[in-house]
Amino acid sequence: MSGLSAVVVNYNAATLLADCVRSLRAEGVEDVVVVDNSSSDDSAAVLAAADPDARWVPTGGNLGFGGGANRGAAVTAPDAHLLVCNPDITLEPGSVKALLGALEAEPGVGIVGARIENPDGTVYPSPRVFPGMLDAMGHALVGLFKPDNQFTRRYRMLDVDRSVYAGDVDWVSGSCFLARREAWDQLGGFDDSYFMYAEDLDLCWRAHKLGWRVAFEPGARAVHVQGHSTDQRAYRMIVEHHRSLWKFTWRTTTGWRRALLPVVAAGLALRAAVACGQRAMLGVRAR
């Protein structure tokens, strides 16, 4: 499939990487770039054995997801659309065709997200809205103890049937999406100051600011094994998650709402502490 390059950002995902690349090849993707964020497993050997034609781009350090994707995009053809993927996803048949169809049918669409499914067949909330401050705080705090709350439902579009809804959304998950090359170049790719999390939120927010539309295409389906890489550094990832949320909030909050930023900062700090405590409890229970 010419005119398209896949960029897979890898970190210690050797057990899943080969399946990801095989699913891309089955979809007709000719140019596959695997960017490696200094893995300590045998990812390089696994990829070489599974697909010697895939391009291996070592970063020499852990640049995070956005930084890795930017590094991969830089070595692709300058006119190629970019399919950005996690290494722990596999594409279902027809997914790349569906993403390209959605992109090519609407010249104003800059980013198209796939329908993300968990291995058990449940649907992950990939398309989301930009939450107002009330919904953001409600989701962040209430969601820790009551996941099915009104704030989270609005933010994650849980009352929308993601098996049939196709169209414009505020933002989509970065685990599998297709970016129009013109839009990607105008945006300068991801803001790689986000190490992990919210880089996809930020990318789509900036796309809207530049006049690009963001779309969701349920005909493109990707099965995602959640947290394979991030679970290896669970507490650091919790901290990075909340750090990224704070960065995005600081960047996008305007007017009188900036007076509430100290409250948001305190809430995020509390949420991070509770999340770490919950993680520790899960570890105790597992032993």
pLDDT tens-digit map of 32-50:
999 999 999 999 999 999 9
| pLDDT for 286 | 34
- Alpha helices, DSSP H, located in the chain: 14-26, 43-50, 64-73, 95-105, 133-142, 150-155, 181-187, 199-209, 234-252, 261-286
CA separation for the pair 132, 91 (Å, rounded): 33
| pLDDT for 285 | 39
Q: What is the pTM of this model?
A: 0.91
- Quick check: 230 and 141 in contact, CB under 8 A? no
The per-residue pLDDT of the chain, averaged, comes to: 91
Among 251, 165, 147, CA closest to 216:
165
CA separation for the pair 205, 129 (Å, rounded): 10
Residue 175 has pLDDT above 80, yes or no: yes
Three-state DSSP class for 188? Answer: coil
Average pLDDT over residues 62-78: 96
Average pLDDT over residues 208-212: 98
- The model's confidence at residue 1, banded by pLDDT at 50, 70 and 90, is low
Residue 237 has pLDDT above 90, yes or no: no
- The model's confidence at residue 210, banded by pLDDT at 50, 70 and 90, is very high
CA separation for the pair 97, 95 (Å, rounded): 5
Per-residue CA distances from 246 to 142, 189, 261, 263 (Å): 18, 20, 9, 11
| pLDDT for 209 | 97
| pLDDT for 185 | 98
CA separation for the pair 268, 133 (Å, rounded): 12
CA separation for the pair 114, 153 (Å, rounded): 20
End-to-end Cα separation, the chain, in angstroms? 48
Residue 143 has pLDDT above 90, yes or no: no
Residue 228 has pLDDT above 80, yes or no: no
User: Which DSSP category does 128 fall into?
Assistant: B
- The model's confidence at residue 273, banded by pLDDT at 50, 70 and 90, is confident
| pLDDT for 17 | 96
Per-residue CA distances from 259 to 187, 255, 256, 262, 270 (Å): 29, 8, 6, 7, 19
Residue 235 has pLDDT above 90, yes or no: no
Angle between helices 234-252 and 199-209 in degrees, nearest 10: 20
Among 205, 213, 211, CA closest to 249:
205
- The model's confidence at residue 141, banded by pLDDT at 50, 70 and 90, is confident
